[in-house]
Amino acid sequence: MKHILITGSTDGIGKLTALKLAKEGNTVYLNGRSEAKVNKVVAEIKEASNNPNIKGFISDFSDLNAVKQLAIQIKNEVPSLDILINNAGIFKTAAVKTKDGLDIRMAVNYLAPYILTENIVPVLEKGTATRIVNLSSAAQSSVKKGILTGDVAINASDAYAQSKLALTMWSFHFAKQHPNITTIAVNPGSLLNTKMAKEAYGQHWSPAEKGVNILYDLATSDVYKDATGKYFDNDKGETIGRFSPAHPDAYDETKIDTLLEITSEIVNK
C-alpha cells in the first residue's frame, strides 16, 4: 500500500497511470486545474478500481502562487508520500504567458514541479523507499535566461524543449541533494496517443499505454530502486526503453548552478 501523488492526472498518461496504481489498492492523490474535472476523475477512478482511497487536489500550475498553496495543503493533509510523479505538462496553449509574465510552458513544465517538490520534501522523506519520477521529453534544448524569466518570447516547441531540459537538470541536482529519495527523469515516449500529442502534431506513433507502463515500472519496480539521478529514454528499444545520456547540459554543474540561481530568484519574488 503506497501513497502516491500524480500531477496532471485528469487525462492522458497521468490519468491512466493513476487508474493502474489505484487498482492495486494504493492511496492515490490526483491533481488538475479544474475542480469539476478533478472531482469527475476521482469518482471515475474510485468506481473503476473499487478503491475508495482516491483524493483530488486542485491547482493551476501556470500560477506559481497556487502551486505554493498546493504544497502547503499537501503538507497539512498528506502524512507521507512514497511516490511523486511530476506528470503535469503543456505544449500548445492559447495563452503563451502566465499572469506573472512567464512563458507558460516554462512555468507549468519546470517551475511548478520544482516548487511543488522542493516544498514537500518533508512529506516525501516520511515515505518508504520514496521515488520521484519527473516527466522529461526527447525534446531538450539549452535553457536561455530570457526564456526562463519570461523576458524573451519564442515558439512553443523551443520553449517546451527548454522547459523539459530545465526539469531534467534540476532532477539530477535534486537526486544528489536527496540521496535517500530515488529521483528519475523519463522521456515516456515520443508522440504517444494523448491529447497533448494530438493538439500539437495531429498524430501519434505509439499507444498511451507505452508511457503508462514505463511510469508505473519506474515508480514501483525493484529494478529501478537504485536508479537515482538517471534519465530513462522510452524511445530506445523495441518494447521498453533504457537509461541513456540526457542532454549534455544536464551534466554541466556550472549551467545547473546558473539555472538554479535564476529559478530561485523567480520563485522567491
Number of structural domains (the chain) is 1
Counting beta carbons within 10 angstroms of the beta carbon of residue 262, is it exposed (0 to 12), middle (13 to 18) or buried (19 or more)?
Answer: middle
Spatial separation of the C-alpha atoms in residues 195 and 167, rounded to whole Å: 21
Rg from Cα positions in the chain: 17
Check residue 207 and give its pLDDT: 58
> Mean pLDDT of residues grouped by 10 in the chain (269 residues)?
96 92 98 96 97 98 97 98 95 88 96 98 98 94 96 91 97 98 88 48 54 90 96 80 93 98 95
Contact 25, 51 (CB under 8 A): yes
CATH number of residue 166's parent domain: 3.40.50.720
Spatial separation of the C-alpha atoms in residues 124 and 179, rounded to whole Å: 12
**SS3 label, residue 163:** helix
**C-alpha cell at position 38:** 478533478
Q: What is the largest CA-CA distance in the chain?
A: 49
**What residues make up the domain containing 225?**
3-267
- The DSSP element (H or E) to which 32 belongs, if any, is strand 27-32
Spatial separation of the C-alpha atoms in residues 151 and 143, rounded to whole Å: 13
Neighbours of 265 (CB within 10 A): 11
Check residue 190 and give its pLDDT: 62
- The strand order across the sheet containing 230-233 reads 54-58, 27-32, 3-6, 83-86, 131-135, 182-187, 230-233, 242-243
pTM across the whole model: 0.94
Check residue 203 and give its pLDDT: 47
Check residue 93 and give its pLDDT: 82
Neighbours of 216 (CB within 10 A): 19
CA–centroid distance for 201 within its chain: 21
Spatial separation of the C-alpha atoms in residues 19 and 28, rounded to whole Å: 9
Q: b/e map of 109-129 (b: 16 or more CB within 10 Å)?
A: bbbbbbbbbbbbbebbeebee
Is the alpha carbon torsion for 206, 207, 208, 210 positive or negative? negative
Check residue 219 and give its pLDDT: 96
